[in-house]
Amino acid sequence: MACARALTGRSGTAQAGGAVVCAQNGCLCPRSPRSARHHGRMNNSDSPEYRSETDAVERVDRIDPSAPLLTDDDVLERVGLLIGRACRRQLWLLFLDERAVMLPTLMPNDELPVPLDDEAASTIAAMLRQARNGTPIESVILVWERPGGPVASEADRRSAAALAWACADSGVPVRAQIISHDYGVRLLGAEEFSPVVGAAADGAVG
């Protein structure tokens, strides 16, 4: 994530490092400006204020990057502003410091297996563990962006379980897991994927 105040788009997109804000979708995605025009769905609100490219940029610009994300609602609001409705299938990594302030980095990855397997989960967790060494990273927010409705699919739950298990094994605190779907964003509660984690643990013991 670039600082929200650095996002200054005047036409179809707003540049933020290697990312752009899709004008029609309002989500921060690692796409070229040219490709942004292909994403036709509106953002996660029916309000007219979200229905123009100018408003999509201004919506991100309203973020106070120094504000801590102390509650689940704070986290959901920030993810909704930055990522919003799903454009494509990918995993976003967002980072918080010890004060729960989001750090100026968003890491998307759209080349992961579906559902996430143990090998890929372990690789991500190991990268996160290494990234925490000597940096302000205290915890991570995992955002599963994928087209579809808000109900967690089997692939969603297995992916979340695999990465939760790997992060716990690597000592990486996960602040929240969130699904970005066709209609907005929602918290993926541990109670939704913990049975999958438990089943994996039982299988490992057996």
**What's the pLDDT band for 59 if we cut at 50, 70, 90?**
low
Instruction: Give the whole-angstrom CA distance, residue 5 versus residue 64.
Output: 9
DSSP state of 151: S
What's the chain's average pLDDT?
Answer: 77
CA atoms within 13 A on the CB side of 152: 23
Percent of the chain scoring above 70 in pLDDT = 67
Model confidence pLDDT, tens digit, residues 150-168: 999 999 999 999 999 999 9
**What's the pLDDT band for 61 if we cut at 50, 70, 90?**
confident
Residue owning tokens 């699904």: 179
CB-based contact 86:146 (threshold 8 Å): yes
Please state the rounded mean pLDDT for residues 36-46: 40
Instruction: Give the whole-angstrom CA distance, residue 157 versus residue 133.
Output: 29
Please state the rounded mean pLDDT for residues 177-206: 78
Model confidence pLDDT, tens digit, residues 67-119: 999 999 999 999 999 999 999 999 999 999 999 999 999 999 999 999 999 99
Please state the rounded mean pLDDT for residues 32-38: 35
- Both structure tokens of 89: 């299938």
How big, in percent rounded to 5, are the helix, strand and coil portions of the chain? 40, 20, 40
pLDDT greater than 90 at residue 124: yes
* E strand or H helix that includes residue 34: none
**What's the pLDDT band for 54 if we cut at 50, 70, 90?**
low
Instruction: Give the whole-angstrom CA distance, residue 69 versus residue 106.
Output: 16
Please state the rounded mean pLDDT for residues 55-60: 67
pTM over 0.85: no
Instruction: Give the whole-angstrom CA distance, residue 30 versus residue 205.
Output: 41
Torsion of CA 125, 131, 135, 141, to 10 degrees: -40
Closest CA to 124 of 187, 178, 193, 172: 172
Model confidence pLDDT, tens digit, residues 125-153: 999 999 999 899 999 999 999 999 999 99
Domains observed in the chain:
4-61 (no CATH), 72-205 (3.40.140.10)
